[in-house]
Amino acid sequence: METLFYLRFHDFYVVLEEMFKKMTRIKLFALIALFCSGISFAQQGGGMWIPTELNEAEMKQMGMRISAQDIFNPNAPSIKDAIAHFGGGCTSEVISAQGLLLTNHHCGYSQIQSHSSVENDYLKNGFWAMNASEELPNKGLTATFIIDIKDVTDKILQGVTDDMDEEKRQEFVKSNIEIVSKNAVKEAHQDLFIRAFYKGNKYYQFITETFRDVRLVGAPPGGIGNFGMDTDNWSWPRHVGDFALFRIYADKNNKPAEYSPDNVPYTPKHFLPISIKGIEEGDFTFVFGFPGTTDEYLPATALEQVLATTNPNRIGIRDVALRILDSKMRQDNATRIKYASKYARISNAHKKWTGESLGLTKSNAVGLRKDYENEFTKRINANPEWKAEYGNLLKDFQELYNANDSYLIAEIYFDEAIYRNSETFRVALLMQNLLKAKNTPEFDGLKERYRNHLRGLYKDYDAALDQEVSLALIDLYKKNVPAQFLPENAININASTFRNSVLTGAQKINGVSILEDTDKAFENNEALVEALESDPLVQEIGLILKAYEEKVSPKYTAIQNQLAQLQRTYMKAQLEVFPDRKFFPDANSTLRVTYGKVDGYKPEDKPRYDAQTYLDGAVAKHIPGDYEFDMPEKLIELEKNKDYGIYGEGKRKKAKMPVNFIASNHTTGGNSGSPALDRDGNLIGLNFDRVWEGTMSDLHYDPTICRNIMVDARYILFIIDKFAGAGYLLEEMKIVK
Ligand code: ARG
Ligand code: GLU
């Protein structure tokens, strides 16, 4: 209780102190009045809102000068017509009348990589198409626009009753979705999906248009687009030009089409003007994009589990893998290149979870959630109907989460130690899957899929390195998975298992090493099956898989389903019990708007950081030859001469080149590449990250430390124009000065 008080008091004090410095007396009185009126969750801020249901009044009060209709209008061009889901995972936006598309460098990474070779290393040196014919097509890459959003809850929940059992409910929902989908009005080239919101208390229908010819136009060198790499990832201050340019192509009727040399640049209904007027602390900003997943309405007991079980176990497993990878990558250049992107993937989530736990602790998320639950309980106790319906919810949660704990640990270890972070174990799991399909019609298709997958995997595989990682992970597995979930016989995986396996290339299939000639190793079905069935690694991993499938997965899944039902009821309860609070639905990869203000922040034990960084700060971090912090010579030169074109800030002698900035927009994974817009709907930034402790905003948003990080639009234009000499691209953009 004491620490709880201290933390809250401490935070409050820090916030107050900062405000005090900036505020006029009147504002301060208003603030004190606000506090005295008893703010709690209502003023918490944050939120990822459905664009058809915006709180226009609040946005305007914060400084917005356009209307909600300007942001989303299904019947006339609006800003949403410039926003596209990029490859299903990131966000992108159209910035010219010729379908020019802006997103993050890290979102286009695999496309940039796939066009790269030793002679033309676009990841390292950058790429700029100097005319349309040089733009590079990308097989499989899509850009999806949202045409319309409709609340179809009544139709989807038709016939569903509160006392219905879960299976029956799901049947109704499923068949209603089919009926509504079939009857929906849309054009032939459009698609439609229906998705659950508010944990299944609401359903929305989306009509979409997906373009399939999306070409690479430009990307800065890694020393700009990925400057600071893993060391700077999830942190502030930041100095990275994390952007890339693509272009959408359409058929001659401006409709989606597969790639064809006859396709023409897409004419959008709307594209974003780019403002170079600059930003100031306190400016209104909103971010428009496709946030992936959040879990903002968990009970306190679930947050405790994240802090005590989920994050420490995942972090602990990845610690071990990362430490081994790092030491080998430092010793050998070829290993470093091979494992750079794998390392980045493993460390990205590892670093995020660490920051998330830090933020949850620092902001006393569990304590605040308990206060909230006390208020919830007080309110339902005062209403007999609510009490009857919701009186057991929190207790049921507690029991289920407790029951879940050991299954969760086993689940995490299987996922992280066997499936995700050992390449050889993952191959063994895939091969188990293939063997299960033996003598079925699926076998050949599956074999083909895995063969393609393995060809890519083995290209960058270091058998000795992965063996070391895998053996360390299996040690953790044996030590930390509760005994009742392990295979009956002791797990017997050691160096000789690897030496005797075909999966590491040490033994041959069909006369060849799977590493050197995956195609030939997979050629003959009989030889392949025979080699896999007698392989010691495939067998051992098979036993682990069997134990997991029998002893962990069914129960774990059953509890997850029960939890999902409870969460649906809890969400319904919160909507009823707190009519004074505005709830946003958890992110689910659908189009959302979040808004906030340009605002610095104060990390633990550090002075407050400004909201904006500049190019001189990037140059100060420059380490020649370093693989994370090496900067292109030309950029250093531009900074030295203050040669910023029209993009710098301030007068000639004092001029500075803005690079990144932060604001209190509530974002998550999937918001990468999202535009940050100003009060007039002009693009001012490109979202790419969050500050470290602020990553807890997936579970708990705290306005004092949650910040999203953006590339300043001026820096993007500066790099295109002054650095890359691709100024012709600027001619098709609309620059607001
Ligand atoms: N943290 C950002 C995100 O979650 C950027 C990741 C890419 N960059 C990296 N250094 N791994 O996607
Ligand atoms: N980098 C993340 C992405 O790829 C966005 C950062 C975040 O999670 O906020 O979507």
Q: Give the pLDDT confidence of 311-327 residue by residue, as tens digits.
A: 999 999 999 999 999 99
Q: Is the pLDDT of residue 219 over 70?
A: yes
Which residues constitute the domain of residue 551? 300-576
Distance CA 317, CA 343 (A): 14
CA of 292 to the centre of ligand 2 (A): 9
Place of tokens 């410095």: 21
State the Cα–Cα distance between residues 250 and 271, nearest whole angstrom: 16
Pocket flag, ligand 1, residue 669 (CB < 6 Å): yes
The pLDDT of residue 485: 97
Identify the helix (H) or strand (E) that includes residue 594.
strand 592-597
Sorting pLDDT into bands at 50, 70 and 90, what band is 25?
Answer: very low
Q: Does a structural domain hold residue 327?
A: yes
Query: Is ligand 2 within 6 A of the CB of residue 671?
Result: yes
- pLDDT over 70 (residue 16): no
pLDDT level of residue 35 (50, 70, 90 thresholds): very low
Q: Which ligand number lies closest to the CA of residue 689?
A: 2
Q: Does residue 634 lie within any of the structural domains?
A: no
Q: What angle do CA 513, 518, 519 make, to 5 degrees?
A: 125
In a domain, 557, yes or no: yes
CA distance 376 to 396: 15
Q: Give bridge partners of residue 447 from the DSSP assignment.
A: none
Q: Is residue 654 part of a domain?
A: no
Q: In angstroms, what is the span from residue 692 Cα to ligand 2's centroid? A: 12
Taking 80 as the threshold, does the pLDDT of residue 8 lie above it?
Answer: no
Task: Express each pLDDT in 127-143 by its tens digit.
Answer: 999 999 999 999 999 99
- Note whether residue 284 is domain-resident: no
Q: Mean of the pLDDT values across residues 673-682? A: 98
Q: How confident is the model at residue 443 (pLDDT cuts 50, 70, 90)?
A: very high
Q: How far apart are CA 412 and CA 341, in angstroms?
A: 23
Instruction: Please tell me if the CB atom of residue 344 comes closer than 6 angstroms to any atom of ligand 1.
Output: yes
> How much is the average pLDDT of 64-91?
97
Residue type, 735: I
Question: What is the pLDDT averaged over residues 478-495?
Answer: 96
More confident residue, 111 or 119: 111
pLDDT for 653:
80
* Closest-CA residue to 395 (of 410, 380, 383): 380
> Which residue has a Cα nearest atom 6 of ligand 1?
348
Specify the pLDDT at position 44: 58
Mean pLDDT of 712-737: 97
Q: Which atom of ligand 1 is nearest to the CA of 347?
A: 11
pLDDT score recorded for residue 116: 85
Q: Is residue 166 part of a domain?
A: no
Question: CA 614 to CA 574: how far, in whole Å?
Answer: 44
Number of domains the chain is built from = 2
Whole-angstrom distance, CA of residue 662 vs CA of residue 236: 9
**Cα 99 to Cα 108, 264, 675, 682, distances in angstroms:** 16, 9, 15, 17
State which H helix or E strand residue 686 sits in.
Answer: strand 683-690
- Is 506 domain-assigned? yes
Contact in structure between 571 and 297 (CB atoms under 8 Å): yes
Which mutation among 105, 233, 339 tests ligand 1's pocket best, with the greatest number of atoms within 8 A of CB?
233
How many other C-beta atoms lie within 10 A of the C-beta of residue 232? 18
> Residue 507 corresponds to which tokens in the numbers above?
């033994």
**CA distances to 53, 125, 224, 340, 534 from 119, in Å:** 51, 10, 20, 19, 42
Mean pLDDT of 319-340: 90
The residue from 514, 541, 576 where one domain ends is 576
**Largest separation between any pair of C-alpha atoms in the chain:** 83
Q: How confident is the model at residue 606 (pLDDT cuts 50, 70, 90)?
A: confident
Q: Which residue's structure tokens are 């102190």?
A: 17
Q: Is 90 exceeded by the pLDDT of residue 651?
A: no
Answer whether 627's CB lies under 8 Å from 228's CB.
no
Domain membership flag for residue 331: yes
Cα 184 to ligand 1 centroid, rounded to whole Å? 38
Q: How confident is the model at residue 333 (pLDDT cuts 50, 70, 90)?
A: confident
Least Cα distance to 282 among 606, 655, 667, 24 occurs for 24
Tokens of 288: 């428009």
pLDDT at 42 over 70: no
| pLDDT at residue 118 tops 60 | yes
Domain boundary among 543, 559, 576: 576
Residue finishing a domain among 550, 576, 602: 576
Which stretches within 203-306 are classed as H helix?
Answer: 222-225, 229-232, 300-305
Q: Does the C-beta of 689 come closer than 6 Å to ligand 2?
A: yes
Distance in angstroms (rounded) separating the CA atoms of residues 714 and 661: 11
Confidence check: pLDDT of 41 > 80? no
The pLDDT value recorded for residue 397 is 98
User: What pLDDT is stored for residue 36 in this prediction?
Assistant: 35
The mean predicted confidence, pLDDT, of the chain is 93
Active site residues: 106, 242, 672
Please tell me if the CB atom of residue 201 comes closer than 6 angstroms to any atom of ligand 1: no
Is the bond leading into 237 cis (omega within 30 degrees of zero)? yes
> 3-class SS at 665?
coil
pLDDT at 498 (0 to 100)? 98
What is the C-alpha to C-alpha distance for residues 44 and 31, in angstroms, rounded to an integer? 14
Q: Is the pLDDT of residue 294 over 50?
A: yes
SS3 539: helix
**To which residue do tokens 């007039």 refer?**
680
Which amino acid makes up residue 171?
E
pLDDT tens profile 613-630: 999 999 999 999 988 999
pLDDT above 70: percentage of residues in the chain: 94
Which ligand is closest in space to the CA of residue 86? 2
